[in-house]
Structure 1
Amino acid sequence: MIFLLCSVFGIAISIFFVFYIHDAYLAMKFQSFVDQQKEQMRSNSKKRIDPNSLFMATDLSKSVEDNCRLDYEYQVAYYLYTGVDRSLNKNNGRPSKTFVFLHGLGGQMAQFEGLFNFIPNEYSVFSLDYCGCGLSKRAFNSHIGRSAHELTTNGLTNVVEKFIEKHIFPSDSIVLVGHSMGASIATRLAKRLGEKCEALVLLSPKNKFKKGELELIQRVQKIPTPVFSLYRLFDRCKGLRSPSVNRCFSNEATPSQRAQLWIWNRESDTFIWKMMLMGIESVFTPSFVFPSVPTLVITGDEDSLSPPSEKELYQDLQKNISFEVVAAGHCVLVENHTRYIR
């Protein structure tokens, strides 16, 4: 009996080891592929730049990682590009504007990189990786001193609000752009900012949780973190066509987009992900009043997580809300970002 148990245990360890090595191999392969694609894109972009273009890139040779800064008070990495014409704007009385980008559950600010360089260069751009996400995870020990409340939607909203007060010019008007869970944070932040918030852009917002989704969240809560990490390992073992990638993209997503998302999914901290999931709130909750601000809602036509059918939830709100469906899955900010650059 003992021999049988040892044999089963040995086989299990061997299988895990094989999957772990396979996962590490895919990570190196996909990272190399993504790096090559980025270098080619930057090379091509430099050749096409029109200095008279409204959407001229601020500097396509720079990335979020190259330009991130660290805030040791909150142990968070952030990106801040300051508009080049700020002093001129103040002299002629035209207010400055800052675009604030908020990523979703398991995401990171690098997912917005394709948008940052297309914001008119007179405006500022700000984003951050929440605690335990992206570059914040690399720079700081994400598990130390983090309470469950701090990682709820409300807790993350508090952190972003403090960051805006600390790092953004007080005279700036703000345009909030939130993806998925970031859309829930953006709507709550818009209410707090009041007239300072000029507009709200919600990308694939999770507007309402169904009963089955709430039950799934409760089941995930009971799964030990190491066990759930194993599930995530197996969930991405098929590489570019793994369920972890397919859930967020349509069939039209490019191999480079899939490779990049696979890497981001792998980098997501399981413990932090679970903590945020436990405290996640949808855009619409019984006690929440939607902010009165011009709002654009964009969702993918193949988004199974935030389907276009949820447009009906906005019918009873103000008339300053527009809704647009684009060809994409849940991760519209990566798959089809050029569609809503304005």
Structure 2
Amino acid sequence: MEKGWLTIALALTSLGTAWIATQRPIPFLRTLAAVFAGLVVARIGYEPRIVGDDVGTTPIFNWLLWGYGVPAASFWGASYLMRPRADDAPLRAIEAAAILFTVLLAFLEIRHAVNGGDMLAVPSLAEAGLDVSVALALAIGLERLRLRSRSIVHNAGAVLLTAFAVLGSVFGLLFLENPMVFHGEIRGSVLNLLLLAYAFPAILMLLLSYAVAGQRPVVYANSLAAGALILALSYLSLEIRRLYHGPNLILGGTSGAEQYTYSIAWLAFGVVLLGIGILVQSQRARLASAVVIALTIGKAFLIDMSTLTGVYRALSFICLGLVLVAIGWLYQKILFRRRPPEAAAPTA
């Protein structure tokens, strides 16, 4: 068959075989469905672009959508049909293929769209941010799905996607594609690339931490929450940097006004987190607030004291002191308030 029709035909054959297996419970049919799925995986291993250089330049609606989307849908359908009968090796193979094709579809479509169809282009901040966001979104979906299916494949897929998102955040967003480390232009005041690359992943990582809370070890969920906090602080700091330096974040030094803005913004962020923690009674939000405020205090004494002069230094410490006093009052009056003593029962 020409182009990618062979890939699509094999995937649909796997789905059809799985359906026949539900009508005629012959064990070999389940294995045959998994074999067809394996052939499709081998096919994309030989040519990931499905049709070579004829993928096209149209975002989304190109041969990647058909070459990966149809197999992904077919394998998800086949796994749905096969699961009620048994959780065996053929089912797990098809579930793994479904996750693989879904992930590859998302990542390759992102790469195609961001780079104008050039699949061999150098990675960028936009691509890294979208990859991390998609990985986190898929991990959230698999975390929800595994609670119903109890599938070891769904469980492993969620963990692997989470690990990819964390590594992509650390090495991609915070280092290799960080506009403060390497040259990169950030255009736009608020609706810019930083929102896509740091704010969205921070929100999704926070949602993932809540999705796994109570289902995985505490350190797993708390680590994701810490990652979300780091991305949020990075977004806030980079937006301030862009405000003072324009599109080129690595050009120019850091002025006293900029240093003061960092301190005030971090402090305000910590106060907002504390307010959220009090309103929704979230210990995690209050802990995040304490971490941010502690970082602000450290910055005030280690950086602001040596770099800020005059009114900026005074304002920095005055604002910090006022906020700390207010936080102490909140903890005393709201969080640590004691219940009034109960009246003693009257004696006869």
Q: TM-score, normalised by structure 1?
A: 0.26
Compare the two structures and name the one with the higher strand fraction: 1
Higher Cα Rg: structure 1 or 2? Answer: 2
Q: Which has the higher contact order (CA 8 A, sep 6+)?
A: 1
Compare the two structures and name the one with the higher helix fraction: 2
